[in-house]
Amino acid sequence: MLLLEKIDLSKLPKHIAIIMDGNGRWAKKKNLPRVFGHRAGMKSVQKIVETCVQLKIEVLTLYAFSTENWIRPKTEIGALMTLLQNYLKIEFERMMDNNIQLRTIGDISKLPKTPHKELVKVMQKTKSNTGLVLNLALNYGSRQEIMNAITRILESRKNKVDQKTFESYLDTSGLPDPDLIIRTSGEMRLSNFLLWQCAYSELYVTPVLWPDFKPENLYEAIADFQKRERRFGGV
């Protein structure tokens, strides 16, 4: 509660994006298989989504699986996909109750059939919800997103493209750029996440591992964000 009081509710970031990192290290610290870290990470997802609903954040983007993560062991990928499937099954009703609209970025057609089907179903059923946009980055990579946009623009035979048009070809079309990008577990890199959209995002890196990331940690990140002076190139 104390930290929540430090937040100015009239100056919240519209769009928060999180690179949820550190599940493996969390499990390792506890001498558990990596999958246990992912399972614990799902609990953090549930809590942080709930907190964003309470704060009335407009968009929450969660980096859940990158285009590079396919090089992981098959068993780990399988476990992540099963977790995604379970998450959608467990959370669907709560999404409806909380007026959450599910969206994705990344090429979800390359995901295994069952989680893909579940995603399409939940997106369809939540598409008229007007509260928090929960945007899951799945099989997402920013370079691929940009290349796809260019390919589609070339196919459309446009001979002139401005910034606005280009952005309408990105997976994030229609969403505001992230105001705040949080990365857990200390790594100071973006790992192919929202490279175009992060042009003026405020970056916040915390050593806290994703499964340990609590609503208090989100309040802390927001309080820090609110102390920053965003200049957008001005003086």
Residues marked active site are found at 21, 69
Which residue reads 């090089």 in tokens? 71
177 binds Mg ion (CB under 5 A): no
| Minimum distance from residue 108 beta carbon to ligand IPE (Å) | 14
Which one-letter amino acid corresponds to residue 169?
A: Y
Which CB sits closer to ligand IPE, 12 or 48?
48
**Contact call for residues 146 and 170 (beta carbons, < 8 A):** yes
**Partner touching 69 among ligand IPE, Mg ion, none, CB below 5 to 8 Å by kind:** ligand IPE
Pairing of β 133-140 and β 15-19: unpaired
Closest-CA residue to 192 (of 88, 98, 67, 77)? 67
Residue nearest to ligand IPE (CB): 24
Which CB sits closer to ligand IPE, 51 or 185?
185
118 binds Mg ion (CB under 5 A): no
Instruction: Figure out which of the listed residues 21, 118, 177, 202 binds Mg ion, where binding follows CB under 5 A.
Output: 21
| Minimum distance from residue 126 beta carbon to Mg ion (Å) | 28
Which CB sits closer to ligand IPE, 54 or 68?
68
**Partner touching 29 among Mg ion, ligand IPE, none, CB below 5 to 8 Å by kind:** none
Please name every residue paired with 65 in a beta bridge, in sequence order, or none if there are none: 138
Which CB sits closer to Mg ion, 23 or 126?
23
Give the interface with ligand IPE as residue ranges (CB under 6 A).
19-25, 63-66, 68-69, 80, 185, 187, 189, 191
**Contact call for residues 106 and 192 (beta carbons, < 8 A):** no
Which one-letter amino acid corresponds to residue 107?
A: D
Which residue reads 């940009």 in tokens? 146
Residues within the interface to Mg ion (CB under 5 A): 21
